[in-house]
A and B are shown apart, each in its own frame.
Chain A
Amino acid sequence: MSENKYKDLEDLAKDIRKKTIDSIGFLGVGHIGGAMSIADLLTILYYRKMHVDPSNPKMEDRDKLVLSKGHAGPALYSTLAQKGFFPEQWLRTLNVGGTNLPSHCDMNRTPGIDMTTGSLGQGLSSAIGLALAMRLDKSERNVFAIIGDGESQEGQNWEAAMTASQFRLNKLIAFTDYNKMQIDGYTSEIMSIDDPEAKWKAFGWNTDRVNGHSFAELDAAIDRARESKDKPTMIIMDTIKGKGCSFAEGVITNHNMAFTYEQAKEAIEALG
C-alpha cells in the first residue's frame, strides 16, 4: 500500500474548515455552503501549487487567484490566515463594521486577495485581464479563477470564455465549483448548467473533471492544466455544498445560513 501523499493537506483542509465554521459561527450567519465546498481546492492551491509569499502579499511575479464566487471569501480568509498572510484573530472580525474581512473578497482590504469580487459573473473577465498583464510582463505564472455553478448562469462568463480561448490564455486555469445547488434550489431545477464540460470545450477550453474533494485528482488535473500550450483550462469539480460542516453538508438551504455558535462548536468537534 502506497503512502498517503496528501495527509498533510487533509489536516490543513480540516483546519481551514474549522476556522471557517468558527468565523461564520462567531458572527452567526454567512455563506457556509459554498465556502466549505472549495476548502480542499484552496488548500492544495495555497499549500502545493501557488507561488506566493505571505510576508509579501504583493510580491512581483506571483501566481494569482480570482475567487469569482466572492461570497466564499470566508474559506479563502481562513486559508490566507493559516498561511500567515494576516493574524488568525482577524477571522473573528468577519463582517464586523470596519473589518478587513468583508463577506465578499476585497483586494484593498485583505492581504493576499488578488481581485475584488462579489457581483457574480465578473471574476473570469478580471482573471483574463490579469493573465494578459502577466503575458505582457513575460511572466510564466498562473492565474487561477474559481466560479460557482450557479454563477455560470451569468452571461458574462461566456463572453469571457470566448475571450480566453481567442487570446490563447494557457496560463489561465479555472475551476467550476459544481456543488449542484444555488440559493433557490438545485441548479438542475433552477437553470441547468449541464453538461459543463461540453459547454467549456465548445468555447475552446481544455476541460477536466475531478472530485473536488480528492487531492490526488485535483493535483493531477492542475498539473495537466499547467502543461497547456495554447488553451485555458476549466476544471469541473464535483463537490458537496457544505462539505465537512455536519449541520450544513448537503442541506439545500446552506447557501447563506444562520446558525448558533453552539452548532459551530459541535460541527468543529465533529471534524475531529
Chain B
Amino acid sequence: MSDKDMRDVYTETLMEMADADQRICVLEADLMRATGTGSFKDKFPERAFNVGVAEANMVGVASGLSAGGKIPWAATFGCFAARRSYDQFFISANYAQQNVKLVGTDPGVTAAFNGGTHMPFEDTGLMRCIPGLVIFEPCDSVSLKSLIRQATEHKGSTYMRLQRKGKYTLYGESDEIVLGKGNVLKEGEDLTIIASGYVMVPEALAAAEMLADEGINARVIDMHTVKPLDRKLVVESAEKTGAVLVCENHQKKGGLFSAVAECLGEEYPAPVAAVAVEDQFGQVGTLEYLKEAYGFTKENIAEKAKALIKRK
C-alpha cells in the first residue's frame, strides 16, 4: 500500500536508478516544485536541469543530452509536453532516434483548477502519430515504478502520462507489469472494459462491481500501454466477450479508444463504445466536478456498458 503521491514515486524511482546509472538526468521547465523533482536536484545537482518556462527548448536540450549518451527524463504539464513542444519531440527526439523520456503531467481532467488552457484531452492522440513512440499511462504507484524502469531500459523515446497528485495502489509488488502488455484485472464474459490511468482504472473496476450486482460480468483490463497496443489481448477480449468499452481520460479521437477501434476494425470487428470526452475543450472545476461533467463515473460506465451489450 503506497502512502506516497504519484509524483513522489516518480522522483524516488528516478533517484534510485540515478544512483546506479550516471546517464540519468532530469529536466524541468519551471515546474520542479509541481513535479516534485527538487529532491533529485538536491542529490544530483549536476544532472538536474531547469530551463525555465521554455518547454520547446527543454525537449531540444533533452534531445542533445540523449545524443551525448545520457538518458533524460523531462517533465512538464501534458498540455505543454504535447502541444507546445510537439515539433521538438517529433524531430529532435523521435525522428533523430533519440532516447528522450517525456512526461506529461496532469492528464485530462486532473488539470482541475488550471482549467481549459491546461487540460490535455489530446496529448495521447498527438503522440500516437509519432512513429515508433512508446506511450503509457500508469494508474497506480506500483505500475508507475515498474513502467518508469522499463521505459528507461527501452532504447528510444517514450511519453508517459503522469497523474502527479493522489495516492493509489492497485497492484501488489509481485504482480507482473510489462510495458506493451495489458493487465487483466477481473475476468468476465459479457463485455470487456478497457481502461487506462489513475482516473479511469478505479472507476472501471467500480463499474464492474455495479454491473456484477445486476448479473453482468465484465472483463476489466488496465491498458497502461497505449502504444504499442496489446492487440492480442484486445482481439482475444473481443472474441471472448463480444463487445469492448474503452474508458479514457482523453478525448474520443486519437487516444486509447481510437487505438482499440482501429485494431478491432482490422482484426475482429465487434461493437465498441467509449467513455471519453466528446468534441469538447476542458474547463475549470474540482476533479469530482469534472469527472461528473465528462461522464467519467462508475455510473456512466455501467450505463454505457449496458447499452453496448445490447448491440452485441
Contact = CB atoms under 8 A, between A and B. Distances in A.
Nearest to A118: B91
A76 to B, nearest CB: 16
Of B22, B49, B92, chain A has the most CB atoms within 10 Å of the CB of: B92
A136 B70 contact: yes
B92 A122 contact: yes
Interface in B15-66: 22, 25, 46-47, 49, 51-52, 54, 56-57, 59-66
A191 interface: no
A8 interface: no
Contacts of B97: 107-108, 116
Nearest to A104: B91
A160 B49 CA distance: 13
B51 A133 contact: no
A116 B95 contact: yes
Of B54, B66, B67, chain A has the most CB atoms within 10 Å of the CB of: B67
A128 B64 contact: yes
B68 A125 contact: no
Contacts of B265: none
Nearest to A125: B60
Contact-residue bracket for chain A: 20 to 34
A132 interface: yes
Contact of B61 (A106, A107, A132, A137): A132
Interface in A103-149: 106-108, 114-116, 118-119, 122, 124-137
Interface residues of B, number: 30
B88 interface: yes
Contact of B96 (A116, A128, A131, A163): A116
A129 B63 contact: yes
Nearest to B95: A116
Nearest to A105: B96
Contacts of B91: 116, 118-119, 122
Contacts of A126: 60-61, 63-64, 67, 92
Of B25, B62, B66, B68, chain A has the most CB atoms within 10 Å of the CB of: B68
Interface string A133-176: 11111000000000000000000100110110011000000000
Given A108-B96, A115-B96, A133-B69, A159 B64 contact: no
B87 interface: yes
A132 B289 CA distance: 44
A129 B60 contact: yes
Contact of A134 (B56, B66, B68, B87): B68
A115 B91 CA distance: 11
Given A115-B96, A116-B96, A167-B49, A156 B61 contact: no
Interface in A82-108: 106-108
Contacts of A118: 91
A156 B68 CA distance: 20
Interface in B117-160: none
A106 B63 CA distance: 14
A120 to B, nearest CB: 10
6 contacts: A125-B92, A128-B61, A129-B63, A130-B65, A156-B57, A159-B52
- Nearest 10 A-B pairs (CB), nearest first? A129-B64, A133-B68, A125-B60, A116-B96, A159-B57, A159-B54, A126-B64, A129-B65, A129-B61, A130-B64
